[in-house]
Amino acid sequence: MAGPVPIAHSLSDIYTSDALPSQTKRWNGLLAKFESLHGRAPEFVSRAPGRVNVIGEHIDYSLYPVLPMAITADALLAVSTDPTPTEAGTFKITIANVQEAKFPAHEFDIPFDAVDIDATVHEWTNYFKSGLRGALELLRKKKGPDFKPKSMRILVDGTVPTGGGLSSSAAFVTASALAVMVANGEETVDKTELTELAIVSERAVGVNSGGMDQSASVFSERGSALFVSFTPTLKARPVQFPETDPALVFLIAQSFVTSDKFVTGPIHYNLRVVECTLAAAYLNATLNPPGTPLPTDAAPLGISLHGFQETYFALQEQAGRAAQSAPEQLQELITLTSQTLTKAEGYTREEIATVLGLTVDELEVRFTSRFPVRAERFKLAQRAQHVFGEALRVVQFLALLESGTGTGTTTTTNPDIGTQLGALLNATQDSCRATYECSCAEIDTLCALARAAGAYGSRLTGAGWGGCSVHLVPAGRVAAVREAWDKGYYDGLALTAEQREAAVVVSRPGGGSAVLRVR
Ligand code: NG1
Ligand code: MG
């Protein structure tokens, strides 16, 4: 729901009861360490969680709705502020991490109006700086050009595994932006403002990201998944899972294959963003009247497959055709794509430029220069097919969740709902593996093992190419699925006891970002 980021008064406002004992210990540790570093308690702690995506993979940057939920694991920033010397043209950021060996401490003197981020080096504090830069831009808009940021002392504690598909980056960027807002006197921070700012901020770290993770991190409510739509404006609403017998359980299983967008972006994530954008432009040039512009929207490169869908059907209706429902439109786009984008081997820059009426140089300036990509051919057909198909599955998944549930109730009259939801998750995994090519052998194995042991549905979650998988399992099969993973996957990896412990978690939908005042 829209409104301000909540101010929590105790940890029970933030965490589910099962998480409270371990979280209390962790927070006490964070506060104690802050005091021992700075000789005083922090003023507040900002918190933003990671997320697991239930369904709607790789479609947020094409501006299609998605259904993630927040997890308990989160990023915490304990903060105290120092006045900025009036003479200085800079303010100071002192930032450390409880995992000091992995994430070494830094001190930065930063000019008031220029947060410098070197996206070519992989440095953990870049994520903080990207949140800082975004927040300062917003603060300057609110407070005027003379605004002087406060100096901040920060201690970070993050429990979302990095490179694991659970969105550690968005949690950290979002908690950072929130911390900067609060440190500079914003008593209440608007959720929509924070989300939009975190989305744009994260792009400064070199990833052309969509907006799902930041939305989930800010808007989630305990006990519910979150339906996030990006057009005409960003909106998020909680969606409950129905109570069934056997109960529906979500398991998250790590593959321990680390996929780092910073390293593989040019051939994986950022390339997919470019391919989807090019597919939108290509379909527009081919299927709409010559010269039809696509609307400029909030997608990373300014136009999207969703924008193409809207334009295409609006023009059809103007020409006298009856309005189609969203599922009908998506079905039609799947057919149109297979008729229009016929080259399975992909399209070269020259081929695409010709259809768009551009030179190759112009094409590169417009589409492939902001974030580097490495490809000879762009697989427009496969990428568009996945996006339209996945957008359709989200609509179907939501309809199943909401069918037979009246407002305020979470019972369902559909005895097969688990199987039906699971079939959609499995179809997503098939599409991610074969059409979008964002899975990997290890994730495929985890999914196959889980399904054979009784999971309703299994798929990768997050960007893929490693990271985590999510599984919808009837309560009675949870033990069998875990055992199948141990025997068929984890026993074969040389995992530490700690990794083994964290490999599989039962995911309960957690709450979103919050601020806890300490003094
Ligand atoms: P991960 O890699 O889990 O952070 C990424 C994107 C999402 C979305 C998913 C794929 C970022 C910050 N997040 O998630 O926006 O596109 O991949 O559905 O890049
Ligand atoms: Mg991420």
Of 6-10, 102-106, 346-350, 404-408, minimum mean pLDDT range: 404-408
Average pLDDT of 401-429? 83
pLDDT at 29: 98
User: CB 137: neighbour CB atoms within 10 A?
Assistant: 15
Model pLDDT for residues 469-511, shown as the tens digit of each residue: 999 999 999 999 999 999 999 999 999 998 998 899 998 899 9
Average pLDDT of 177-192? 96
Interatomic CA distance for residues 386 and 337, integer angstroms: 11
Model pLDDT for residues 360-380, shown as the tens digit of each residue: 999 999 999 988 899 999 999
Ligand 2 ion: nearby residues, β-carbon < 5 Å: 167, 169
Q: Which of the following is catalytic: 190, 213, 297, 430?
A: 213
Atom 6 in ligand 1: which residue has the minimum CA distance?
209
Q: Which residue has the tokens 């997608």?
A: 299
Of 207-216, 340-349, 448-457, minimum mean pLDDT range: 207-216
Q: How far is the CA of 290 from the centre of ligand 1 (A)?
A: 34
Our measurement of the distance from residue 156's CA atom to the centroid of its chain's CA atoms, rounded to an integer in Å, reads 20
Tokens of 394: 């989200």
Give strand ranges (E) for 330-399. Answer: 347-348, 377-378
State the pLDDT confidence band at 410, using cuts at 50, 70 and 90.
low
User: CB 39: neighbour CB atoms within 10 A?
Assistant: 7
Instruction: Identify the nearest ligand to the CA of 215 by its number.
Output: 1
pLDDT at residue 405 greater than cutoff 70:
no
Average pLDDT of 137-143? 94
pLDDT at 409: 55
Q: Indicate the pTM of the whole model.
A: 0.94
pLDDT at residue 322 greater than cutoff 80:
yes
Whether the CB of 172 sits within 6 Å of ligand 1: no
pLDDT at 404: 63
Model pLDDT for residues 436-447, shown as the tens digit of each residue: 999 999 999 999
pLDDT at residue 388 greater than cutoff 60:
yes
Q: Which helix (H) or strand (E) holds 73?
A: strand 67-82
Interatomic CA distance for residues 24 and 32, integer angstroms: 12
Tokens of 116: 């410098």
Q: How far is the CA of 519 from the centre of ligand 2 (A)?
A: 32
Whether the CB of 186 sits within 6 Å of ligand 1: no
State the pLDDT confidence band at 353, using cuts at 50, 70 and 90.
very high
Whether the CB of 170 sits within 6 Å of ligand 1: yes
Give yes or no for a contact between 444 and 149, defined as CB atoms under 8 angstroms apart.
Answer: no
Q: Which residue among 53, 167, 306 is best mutated to probe the pocket of ligand 1, counting the most ligand atoms within 8 A of its Cβ?
A: 167
Q: How far is the CA of 462 from the centre of ligand 1 (A)?
A: 5
The mean of the pLDDT values for the chain is: 94
Our measurement of the distance from residue 99's CA atom to the centroid of its chain's CA atoms, rounded to an integer in Å, reads 24
Atom 11 in ligand 1: which residue has the minimum CA distance?
209
Interatomic CA distance for residues 132 and 174, integer angstroms: 10
Task: Say what the ipTM of the complex is.
Answer: 0.96
Model pLDDT for residues 426-469, shown as the tens digit of each residue: 999 999 999 999 999 999 999 999 999 999 999 999 999 999 99
Q: Which residue among 168, 261, 437, 465 is best mutated to probe the pocket of ligand 1, counting the most ligand atoms within 8 A of its Cβ?
A: 261
Give yes or no for a contact between 443 and 460, defined as CB atoms under 8 angstroms apart.
Answer: yes
pLDDT at residue 146 greater than cutoff 80:
yes
| N-term to C-term CA, the chain | 28
Ligand 1 atom having least distance to the Cα of 438: 10
Percent of the chain with pLDDT over 70: 98
Atom 13 in ligand 1: which residue has the minimum CA distance?
209
Model pLDDT for residues 245-263, shown as the tens digit of each residue: 999 999 999 999 987 777 7
Give yes or no for a contact between 422 and 430, defined as CB atoms under 8 angstroms apart.
Answer: no
Average pLDDT of 386-409? 86
Q: Which residue among 126, 205, 262, 269 is best mutated to probe the pocket of ligand 1, counting the most ligand atoms within 8 A of its Cβ?
A: 269
Atom 5 in ligand 1: which residue has the minimum CA distance?
463
Atom 2 in ligand 1: which residue has the minimum CA distance?
463
Average pLDDT of 288-311? 96
Whether the CB of 165 sits within 6 Å of ligand 1: yes
Whether the CB of 212 sits within 6 Å of ligand 1: yes
Average pLDDT of 186-197? 95
Model pLDDT for residues 22-62, shown as the tens digit of each residue: 999 999 999 999 999 999 999 999 999 999 999 999 999 99
Model pLDDT for residues 83-139, shown as the tens digit of each residue: 887 677 899 999 999 999 999 999 999 998 889 998 888 899 999 999 999 999 999
Ligand 1 atom having least distance to the Cα of 58: 18
Q: Is 190 among the catalytic positions?
A: no
Atom 12 in ligand 1: which residue has the minimum CA distance?
209
Whether the CB of 300 sits within 6 Å of ligand 1: no
Q: How far is the CA of 465 from the centre of ligand 1 (A)?
A: 12
pLDDT at 89: 87
Whether the CB of 58 sits within 6 Å of ligand 1: yes
pLDDT at residue 284 greater than cutoff 60:
yes
